[in-house]
Chain A
Amino acid sequence: MTLKRVPDPRFLTAALAALIWLALLSPARSQGLEVDINKGQIDPLPIAITAFVGTSQDSAQAGADIAGVIANNLGRSGYFRPLPPESFIEQISNFDQEPRFGDWRQIQAKALVTGQAMMEGGRLKAQFILWDVGSQQKLAGFEFATSPSNWRRLAHLISDKIYETMTGVPGYFDTRIVFVSESGPKDKRIKKLAIMDQDGFNVRTLTDGRQLVLTPRFSPNSLEITYMDFGTGAPRVYLYNIETKQREIVGEFPNMSFSPRFSPDGQRVIMSMQEGGAANIFVMDLRSRRMQQLTNSDAINTAPSYSPDGSQIAFEVGGDNSQQIYVMNADGSNPRRISSGSGRYATPVWSPDGKYIAFTKQGGGRFAIGVMNPDGNGERILTEGFHNEGPTWAPNSRVIMFFRDEPGESGGPRLYSVDVSGYNEQLVKTPSFASDPAWSPLLN
């Protein structure tokens, strides 16, 4: 698909205005974005998102739908409180006319989004302005165009612009999730690779469920997935190309390979290979197909994850009632244990900004998701319960998605997201049970 971003001279004041807005808002902002927020104590920004004015019947429907998607995105982020459209006094019918700010102040809107949607040469075009209701300034304004069937992406791109303008942090709405879609009874689960937008829409399955598939992860350009596939009895790491639908085994190994993940440059896949009772970590260069062994012990060495600069690897070392997170240099040298609390630590995943390692922690028969600094300090638990597992980071390092399994014969896993502060836990709705989520980078 192609997305065109056209700068509009009308919006050139936006950057300057944004600075003013951010200065005005800074007390609220720091309160909202400090990492140390306790659950429920955030004060989300009241924002009015009006239906985008349509220039035709088709585009009017698209305009209303776009506004709905934006409101849903911003509301779910926890930093915004979209006001109900029923409360709006002014009905925006002309995008080129200034809003009546008094009407918006009256319903306590701090920010206002107005927009316009139109069909142009078979493409859907959307323009929007983000207004500071108090200062009556334009904070941001952009125009995006795409094929009409991709209208949700327009809404996600606009959501990202609004989020970034208001928080100073890049958005994460124009992204996808690859995950394992689960159906059937617990002892005969059918697992399929599936992909969807981050908000749970546009779900499509990539495999037919005849083979057991686990732990999918995106390549840095979001075009490929690496995952474990049991095939017809020889479980191995595979690559799947989303556009060509081609499936390819990563190396011909005598033994089971599993737990794959791409390097940040996309040139290598790091994974575990089982040999007898030991699992060790290997990295394969995808061009030369050369394989390098990075750990060499009798333990279970698995779940490797690169630091965003590619210089280090976090992984877990386990066996005999112990499971701990280690970090080593990318060439396998200098492995050192970083987890130090009581319990078992697993599935380390480096945040895209390099500041944290997210993990699964197991203890007392319960499973938690937490974060720690790459040196092992600053451990914080974000959520905890019967079974939480497998964190993955939004590209802006602010949100973590994971799966939560339910007890009971008819129970099953579902996807949840949580702010890195531990606040704003949200169910991510999927058509069936879902596990092993992995977040894509920003698509645009």
Chain B
Amino acid sequence: MLRRLADLKIAVICCCFLALAACSKKNQPDLEGDGAGTAVPGSEKDFAINVGDRIYFIVDTSTLTPEAQETLRRQAAWLRQYPNVTVQVEGHADERGTREYNISLSARRATATREFLIAQGVQGNRISSIAYGKERPVALCDAEQCYSQNRRAVTVITGGAVSG
């Protein structure tokens, strides 16, 4: 019990520290306006703004870049802090591949993401995954600056978050 509390403390400190880094990097393209301060701790917004809900991949790989691993460590810490939260990892590919292949490639990305979170101490039964292939791009231009945003894995909260 004591050890778990200690872990939690470290996680909270870690989280706060990294939250600043996350904000300064502005890696939350989907959310506008609200500053980090307005998110209720443990809420979906808190996760998206202060932790970072997505990671990006190099073309045709499912390798987790150092930056992606950093984001996933923050995600894992947050998920350990809020043990009632369940998530679904969505794997995505850019549009510059064939449909069936991209389905499988995005499944690889979701798998690599999920396995990393599990290795970081999040229980596997809290994390489902789904592969969307190239079906759900978020950036729509026909250039690498958009394709690179679409090659992603997004950790979506499916339940257990604090409301607000």
Which of B98, B104, B105, B108 touches A390 (beta carbons < 8 Å)? B98
Which of B100, B132, B140, B141 touches A303 (beta carbons < 8 Å)? B100
Are A302 and B141 CB-contacts (below 8 A) given A187-B136, A212-B135?
no
Contact with A along B133-153 (1 / 0, CB 8 A): 101111011100000000000
Complex contact A279–B111 (CB within 8 A): no
Residues on A with beta carbons closer than 8 Å to the beta carbon of B60? 319-321
Residues on B with beta carbons closer than 8 Å to the beta carbon of A258? 100, 103-104
Are A187 and B137 CB-contacts (below 8 A) given A235-B131, A274-B107?
yes
CA distance A259 to B96 in the complex (A): 18
Contact with B along A340-358 (1 / 0, CB 8 A): 0000001100000000000
Are A389 and B131 CB-contacts (below 8 A) given A320-B61, A408-B142?
no
Residues on A with beta carbons closer than 8 Å to the beta carbon of B112? 277
Q: For the complex, is A409 an interface residue (Cβ under 8 Å from B)?
A: yes
Q: List residues 156-176 of chain A with CB under 8 A from any CB of chain B.
A: none
Q: For the complex, is B17 an interface residue (Cβ under 8 Å from A)?
A: no
Residues on B with beta carbons closer than 8 Å to the beta carbon of A360? 98
Q: For the complex, is A272 an interface residue (Cβ under 8 Å from B)?
A: yes
Which of B62, B131, B136 touches A256 (beta carbons < 8 Å)? B131
Complex contact B131–A365 (CB within 8 A): no
Q: For the complex, is A316 an interface residue (Cβ under 8 Å from B)?
A: yes
CA distance A272 to B101 in the complex (A): 10
Which of B108, B128, B138 touches A187 (beta carbons < 8 Å)? B138
Q: List residues 370-397 of chain A with CB under 8 A from any CB of chain B.
A: 386-387, 389-390
CA distance A279 to B137 in the complex (A): 22
Nearest 9 Cβ contacts at the A-B interface: A346-B98, A279-B104, A407-B142, A259-B100, A300-B104, A409-B140, A277-B108, A302-B100, A274-B107
Q: For the complex, is A276 an interface residue (Cβ under 8 Å from B)?
A: yes
Residues on A with beta carbons closer than 8 Å to the beta carbon of B133? 214
Nearest CB of B to A384, in Å: 15
CA distance A230 to B100 in the complex (A): 13
Complex contact A274–B131 (CB within 8 A): yes
Q: For the complex, is B99 an interface residue (Cβ under 8 Å from A)?
A: yes
What are 6 pairs between A and B in contact, CB < 8 Å?
A214-B103, A228-B103, A274-B107, A319-B108, A320-B61, A360-B98
Q: List residues 249-282 of chain A with CB under 8 A from any CB of chain B.
A: 256, 258-259, 272, 274, 276-277, 279
Residues on B with beta carbons closer than 8 Å to the beta carbon of A186? 137, 140
Q: For the complex, is B12 an interface residue (Cβ under 8 Å from A)?
A: no
CA distance A362 to B95 in the complex (A): 12
Q: For the complex, is B97 an interface residue (Cβ under 8 Å from A)?
A: yes
Residues on A with beta carbons closer than 8 Å to the beta carbon of B132? 212
Complex contact B101–A346 (CB within 8 A): yes
15 other contacts beyond A214-B103, A321-B59, with CB at 8 A cut-off? Answer: A187-B138, A212-B135, A215-B99, A258-B100, A274-B131, A277-B107, A300-B104, A318-B104, A319-B60, A320-B60, A346-B100, A347-B98, A360-B98, A390-B98, A405-B95
